[in-house]
Amino acid sequence: LAKTTQPISMDSYEGQEVNITCSHNNIATNDYITWYQQFPSQGPRFIIQGYKTKVTNEVASLFIPADRKSSTLSLPRVSLSDTAVYYCLVGGQAGTALIFGKGTTLSVSS
């Protein structure tokens, strides 16, 4: 059963790059890694998904090492509006549950 571990919280300032790492030692061969963002009183919102190496979109980058036991979400030049909870999600094949981690609360200050 794939379980994730993330830092509980992180602080940053506007304009900085933020890297949030998620550990998932028991990730299964066919599992993807997905990151979501959640603002207060809203449902989670998809940010990025990857299987291996590096994925980049207009919002973020996702780095996955060869052993896939961890992944790093990279947010370039954060702004105040990036203050949110970020979840790392893995798992789902063969009847295992989709497990959201506890999430990382990112606080961006000016």
Partner 1 sequence: DARVTQTPRHKVTEMGQEVTMRCQPILGHNTVFWYRQTMMQGLELLAYFRNRAPLDDSGMPKDRFSAEMPDATLATLKIQPSEPRDSAVYFCASGLASGTLSSYEQYFGPGTRLTVT
Binding site for partner 1 (CB under 8 A): 30-34, 36, 41-46, 49, 51, 87, 89-93, 95, 97-103
Question: What's the closest the beta carbon of residue 47 comes to partner 1, in angstroms?
Answer: 10
Nearer to partner 1, 66 or 94 (CB): 94
| SS3 (DSSP) at 32 | coil
Distance CA 66, CA 68 (A): 5
Nearer to partner 1, 13 or 39 (CB): 39
Distance CA 50, CA 34 (A): 7
Question: What's the closest the beta carbon of residue 20 comes to partner 1, in angstroms?
Answer: 16
